[in-house]
Amino acid sequence: MSDTQLMDRGATLDLFRSMLNRQRPERYLRLLGTQKMGKSRMLREFRQIARSELGAYCALIDLRTDSQNQVDHLFFMCQQIGAGRFTCFQSVHQEYVERRAVNVTGVKQLFSSLSIRAEQDKSAEEHIRRRLTNAFLQDASSLAAEGRVVLLFDTFDEADTGLQAWLNEQLLPGLYSLENSWVVFAGRSVPEPLTNCQDICLTHELPPVEERHFMEHCSRQGIPVTQEEIATCHRVFNGAPGFFADMAPNLHRGR
């Protein structure tokens, strides 16, 4: 979707504001929507609101990147908020980096016992990753004592199964316990809330926009279109603003 205009998403922005202003009890938002309904754009707007309007500690993570694991995502969240505020995480992360460097050398030296070493390494790797998650949550708890902590996760449905399991089983339960934190997951499917956390969870699905919003978008962009063209686009794109915004500049070129 175009970064210059939003189409008919004021109600969703107001919903997010009401959550962060504690006008609503929920602290976990499940933002659902089909393709090109504007989920990623909404998260960028949420980040702007959280940081600029409310001064929150906020990070936005795109889960689509196959080359990044849970440690990478934790690291990037710390970087976005301010690495210096995550002293516990940085300490364990340094140990993690040094350990991986040692293991690479060790594998080369002990190639004959590689299969045994691999099992040992797998167990040790999982242990230190759990420690990294706990260290991140400890630092986040300290931040939550100072101000709002807002974590935004995009495209959960495209994350690999291991990453989804980590989010569901380790990170989310820890974030639920932080009174001054808010979490948003966006995707075509997102995690269900834990049984004992359903009272702080809200599900919101981005609806298709109306034809008039397509027309208003063209008017703002100075794109000459007819009502018939708008109606056709609305039908073809099922009211998805992202599809329309991407192709709207080309509408008048085929005439």
| pLDDT tens per residue, range 98-110 | 876 655 544 444 4
The answer to whether 78 touches 137, Cβ cutoff 8 Å, is no
**Considering the entire predicted model, what is its pTM?**
0.84
Tell me, what amino acid is at 145?
A
Predicted pLDDT at 101: 63
Residue 147 has pLDDT above 90, yes or no: yes
Q: Catalogue the E-assigned strands of 97-200.
A: 149-154, 181-187
**How many C-beta neighbours within 10 Å does residue 62 have?**
17
Q: If you average pLDDT over residues 105-120, what whole number do you get?
A: 47
**How many C-beta neighbours within 10 Å does residue 22 have?**
10
The answer to whether 243 touches 235, Cβ cutoff 8 Å, is no
Predicted pLDDT at 45: 95
